[in-house]
Amino acid sequence: MKPLAVDSLAFALDAAARAVAAVMGGRNLDVALAALALPAAARPAAMDLAYGALRAFGRGDFFLARLMTRPLAEPTVRGLLLAALERIETRPADVHTTVDQAVTAAAGLARGRYQALVNAVLRNFQRRRDELVAAADDDAIARWRHPRWWLAALRSAYPERWREVAEAGNGRAPMTLRVNRRRVATADFQRRLADAGIAAEPLGGAALRLVRPMPVERLPGFAEGWVSVQDWGAQQAAPLLDARAGMRVLDACAAPGGKTAHLLELADLDLTALELDATRAGRIGDNLGRLGLSARVAVADCRETGWWDGVPFDRILADVPCSASGVARRHPDIKWLRRPGDVARFAAGQREILDALWRLLAPGGKMLYATCSLFPEENSRQVAAFVARHGDAQRLPMRDDDKECEWQLLPDADHDGFYHALLAKRT
Fold classification of 9-145 (topology level): N-utilizing Substance Protein B Homolog; Chain A (1.10.940)
CA dihedral 101, 102, 103, 104 (to 10 degrees): 50
Q: What are the E-state strand segments in 170-295?
A: 176-179, 200-204, 207-210, 227-229, 248-251, 270-275
Q: Are 145 and 56 in contact (CB under 8 A)?
A: yes
The set of catalytic residues is: 372
> How far apart, in Å, are the Cα atoms of 347 and each of 256, 279, 373, 382?
22, 25, 11, 7
In order, the DSSP letters of 272-305 are EEEES-HHHHHHHHHHHHHHT---EEEES-TTS-
Three-state SS at 338? coil
The predicted pLDDT at position 400 comes to: 66
Residue ranges for the chain with pLDDT beneath 50? none
| 172/169 Cα distance (integer angstroms) | 8
- Going from N- to C-terminal start, the domains of the chain cover 9-145, 176-229, 232-425
Sequence-ordered list of residues with C-beta below 8 angstroms from that of 368, at least 6 positions apart, any chain: 237, 240, 241, 315, 316, 317, 318, 319, 420, 421, 422, 423
Q: pLDDT digits over 218-253, tens only?
A: 999 999 999 999 999 999 999 999 999 999 999 999
CA dihedral 221, 227, 230, 233 (to 10 degrees): -140
| 108/400 Cα distance (integer angstroms) | 61
The predicted pLDDT at position 419 comes to: 98
| 380/130 Cα distance (integer angstroms) | 43
Q: Are 67 and 124 in contact (CB under 8 A)?
A: yes
| 371 bridge partner residues | 419
Q: Are 47 and 23 in contact (CB under 8 A)?
A: no
| 271/379 Cα distance (integer angstroms) | 25
Q: Are 336 and 324 in contact (CB under 8 A)?
A: no
pTM of the model: 0.94
Q: pLDDT digits over 349-374, tens only?
A: 999 999 999 999 999 999 999 999 99
Q: Are 260 and 284 in contact (CB under 8 A)?
A: yes
Q: Are 249 and 269 in contact (CB under 8 A)?
A: yes
Q: What is the DSSP letter of 174?
A: P
Cβ count within 10 A of residue 226: 21
Please count the residues of the chain: 427
| 132/202 Cα distance (integer angstroms) | 42
Q: Are strands 313-319 and 361-371 parallel, antiparallel or unpaired?
A: parallel
Q: Are 341 and 376 in contact (CB under 8 A)?
A: no
In degrees and rounded to multiples of 5, residue 213 shows phi and psi of -60, 155
| 375/154 Cα distance (integer angstroms) | 8
| 219/232 Cα distance (integer angstroms) | 18
The dotted CATH code for 232-425 is 3.40.50.150
> Helix crossing, 57-67 with 43-55: angle to 10°?
70
Fold classification of 176-229 (topology level): Alpha-Beta Plaits (3.30.70)
Q: Do domains 9-145 and 232-425 have the same CATH topology?
A: no
Q: pLDDT digits over 36-74, tens only?
A: 999 999 999 999 999 999 999 999 999 999 999 998 989
Q: Are 261 and 183 in contact (CB under 8 A)?
A: no
